Structure formats: C-alpha cells, structure tokens
Amino acid sequence: MLRAFVCKALPRHFTPKPMRKETLTLYELNQMVRESLAITMPDEYWVEAEISEMREVRGHCYMELVQKDAIGNTPVAKASAKCWKNKWALLRPHFERNAGQTLRAGLKVRLLVYADFHEAYGFSWIVADIDPTYTLGDMARKRLEIVRMLKQQGVFDLQKELSLPLFTQRVAVISSEQAAGYGDFYRHLHENDWHLHFSVQLFTATMQGEGVERSVIAALDAINERLTDFDVVVIIRGGGATSDLSGFDSLPLAENVANFPLPIITGIGHDRDESVLDMVSFRRVKTPTAAAALLVEHLAETYQRVTDAQEEMVHLLQRRMELERIRLARLAEKVPMLFSLVRTRQEKRFENMALRMRNAMATTLQRQDLRLQRLTLALPTQAERLLTKATHRLELLGQTIKSHDPALLLSKGYSITTLGGKVVRNANDLQKGDVIVTQLQKGKVKSVVE
C-alpha cells in the first residue's frame, strides 16, 4: 500500500495570501513547489507498493510503483521512484542476499523513501532503503496460497502417486543448454560406475527471470507430445544465481507439473527455500548431480535385482539338475529288473496274440471252405437259371428288331425321303433346287424342289 504522511498541519488562524498579480515562470512555480515540499514533507517514509516497471541506467535504478485494488486488481495509485547509483550498489546485493531473489517488476516491496521535486524533472520518490524481509514474507504468503489452491483442486499429491519404471533410462531434461548444472548432470549420468546406459534429450528453457513459467510449460508441452519416448522428466537449474527462483513459485507451472503423466524430478539447486515446483514434483533433490545420482541408483538397484534373480535361477537350475541326476541314477539301477519284467510280459503277450491269430485263421478257413462247398452245389442250378433268362431276353430283343425293320414299313405303302443321305422330317428344311430321294418298297425316285 502506497502511504505518505504529512507531518505538519496548517494553523487555524492561517489566512491565504492574496493572489499575486505578477506572472511566474514555470521554473519559479516549480521552485515554489520544491520549497513547499521541503518544508511540509522533510522526513523519510516507509511505503508498501508493487513494482510495475524497473530499469537501470548508468548504475541508477528507476522504478514505477503502483498500488492495486485488492478486489479488481485495478491500479488506484501510481508514482515514480529513483535509487541513485551509490545507494543502489549497496541495496541491491543486500536485498538479493536476504530475500533470495532479484528485484523485478511484479514484486511487492517495502521502501524507505523521501519526497523530491526537481524543477526540470518533476516529482519522484527517492529510495533510501529496501526491506527484504517484507518481500520474503510476501513470497511466502504467495507460496502458501498456491499450495492451498493446489490442494483444493486435489492435484498437489498426484506426482507422489506415480512411480519410476524399473528400467528408467530414457530421460527428458528441461534446462538451459549453457547451464553448468546440465553439464554436471549429463557427465554424472553417463560416467557412472556401473557403466549403465541412459538416453538423454534436452528441452531448452529459461531457468531464471520472468520467462521461467512460460518457457518450462512450453518444454513440458513438447515432451507431452512424445510421451511414449520417455520414462522420466528432470528439471534442473544449477550454475545460476540462487537469488532468482521466484519463477518456480507459479500456479500455472505447478498445475502443469502436478498433472503431468510422467514422474518429474526437480534439481533446481537451492537448499534454503523449497519452491512450489519442488513441493508438487515426484521427487526433489538439491542439485542436478543429485538428480543424476538418483537415476543411476534406481537403475543400479534394478540391475542388481536382475543379477540376483539370475543367480537365483542358476542356483535353482543347478539344484534341479542334481535332483534329476540322482533320480536318473536310481532309475538306471531299476532298468535291468524292469526290463526283465517287461520282456517277460511282452513275450507272454506275443504268445497269446500268436495263439489267437492261429485260431482265428483256422476258423476263417473253415468258414470259407463251407461257403465254397455251398457255392459249388448251387452253381449248376444258378447257371441254368441264368441261361434261361438270357434266352428269353434275346427272343424279346429279336421281336423288337423285326417290328422296327424299315422294309416292313415300306411294304405297307410308306416311303422314306432323304436329302444328302439324311431323312427329311420337315418340309421347311428343304430349299429350292434341293435334290431329294424317295425310297419306295421297290425302287427309288429322285425329285428337285421348286
């Protein structure tokens, strides 16, 4: 809240001076304002405000302060402030060292200021001191509010419910390509004592300043489009100033991390404060190297489990083979006795089969002999019957042939007409000029069709 306190009040008997009739120059008027401010506001004042703009020019810091409506977030007061080079050189590192972040637009601050009016440059507040504990407390309140909202949405612990795959080897890294922490992470991951193999792909992002939220979310979106290509996501910072971590205390960024389907490990590289991003991630480690050590240790444990299982399988197989060897030895001792028993049984079985076969053959021969005798007795009678039947059938065929003899038909006055040796049955089949032959009982007649 931007607050200023006027220390002196006008006496009751104060009577305004009559308006001067002469015309003042702008410089004279501004000089009067300067003198009035020097008299009425000679003290320094602590003021609470938000930095809306900030820039450094030749070592001096220029700020635009604003107070916003708590409900509508609408500015209700604005003012300019300056911090001169000699004072800024002391206040800036002091603030960053104690608040754990840099002064930037968007921060709420508590400033010790005094009024200054210059005839040429107008009015501004001159910054004499900055309270880092106020900003630190404000950021803590923001973190608590973000955590409260995440818990209210039910997403705060979603990452904790995930688990690292046994073979976590495909790693998506979100970091700055030039960050020393990324180099440490990469070397530690690939130069491990177990000689384990990892596949690492870097998704570059801004890891300090105002672009952290937008940049890291964009990297997460890019990873999400290739979700099946990775087992885990690692967000590392390392190598930068530990004073600029406010970008990781962001509600949109925390929501993206909390709802991400892959486990996310954070190694932002600070010990004193835990960011909201650390709170919602699957696992938080102190440094990028510690993140690499976590992945190496996890895969080494999996490798050890596989090795132990392999040794156990070999042991079980050897034990089973020994048991089977003993069993075979015992069976080998029983083979001669069992073979003798089996041979006796099989010999008896063959004898029984041979006896049954001889009996069956004798019975079959007797039956066939009786059948041949019956056929021999029945053969003359059957042959005589077949001859009689065949003779009768031949007589019938002879009569049928005689009834179809053409000579018989011709003797009754019928005739047969042919064309080219074929019998003519339909007059429509004849054409003009065709020569037809008519067969009579006695003789043939040739005719030409007209």
Same domain, yes or no: 181 and 238: yes
Q: Between 132-153 and 251-258, two packed helices, what is the crossing angle to 10 degrees? A: 40
Contact of 253 with 260, CB cutoff 8 Å: no
Residues 120, 159 within the same domain: no
Average pLDDT, stretch 223-229? 96
- Tell me the average pLDDT across 253-276: 86
| pLDDT given for residue 369 in this prediction | 87
Whether residue 282 contacts residue 264, with contact meaning beta carbons closer than 8 Å, is answered with yes
In a domain, 21, yes or no: no
Tell me the residue type at 140: A
Asked if residue 365 is part of any domain, the answer here is: no
**pLDDT score at 115:** 93
- One domain, residues 137 and 159: no
The gap from C-alpha 192 to its chain's centroid, in whole angstroms, comes to: 28
Is the same domain home to 164 and 238? yes
pLDDT digits over 353-365, tens only? 988 998 999 899 9
Across 154-181, b (16+ Cβ under 10 Å) vs e yields ebbebbeeeebeeebbbbbbbbbeebeb
Per-residue pLDDT tens for 146-188?
Answer: 888 999 999 999 999 999 999 999 999 999 988 788 999 999 9
| One domain for residues 31 and 134 | yes
Question: In terms of domains, do 116 and 42 share one?
Answer: yes
Q: Is 315 contained in some domain?
A: no
56/178 same-domain check? no
Question: What amino acid occupies position 116?
Answer: D
Order the strands of the 170-175 sheet from edge to edge: 199-204, 170-175, 232-236, 264-267, 283-284
Query: What torsion do the CA atoms of 44, 50, 55, 57 make, to the nearest 10 degrees?
Result: 0
Taking the C-alpha atoms of residue 91 and residue 237, their distance in angstroms, rounded to an integer, is 26
Tabulate helix, strand, coil % of the chain (nearest 5).
50, 20, 30
Residue 412 has pLDDT above 60, yes or no: yes
Residue 391 lies in a domain: no
Domain-located, residue 150: no
- CATH number at 123 reads 2.40.50.140
d(CA 237, CA 264) in angstroms, rounded, equals 14
Residue 19: its pLDDT value, please? Answer: 55
Do residues 164 and 267 share a domain?
yes
Helices and strands in the chain: count of H runs, count of E runs: 9, 14
What is the average pLDDT across 205-221? Answer: 89
| pLDDT for residue 14 | 44
What total of structural domains would you count in the chain? Answer: 3
d(CA 200, CA 233) in angstroms, rounded, equals 10
Domain for residue 50, yes or no?
yes
- Top mean pLDDT of 94-103, 268-277, 385-394, 436-445 is at 385-394
Residue 51 counted as domain residue:
yes
Domain that holds residue 116: 26-142
Q: What is the mean pLDDT of the chain?
A: 86
Closest CA to 267 of 182, 205, 187: 182
One domain for residues 161 and 284: yes
End-of-domain residue from the set 239, 269, 297: 297
Classify residue 81: in a domain, yes or no: yes
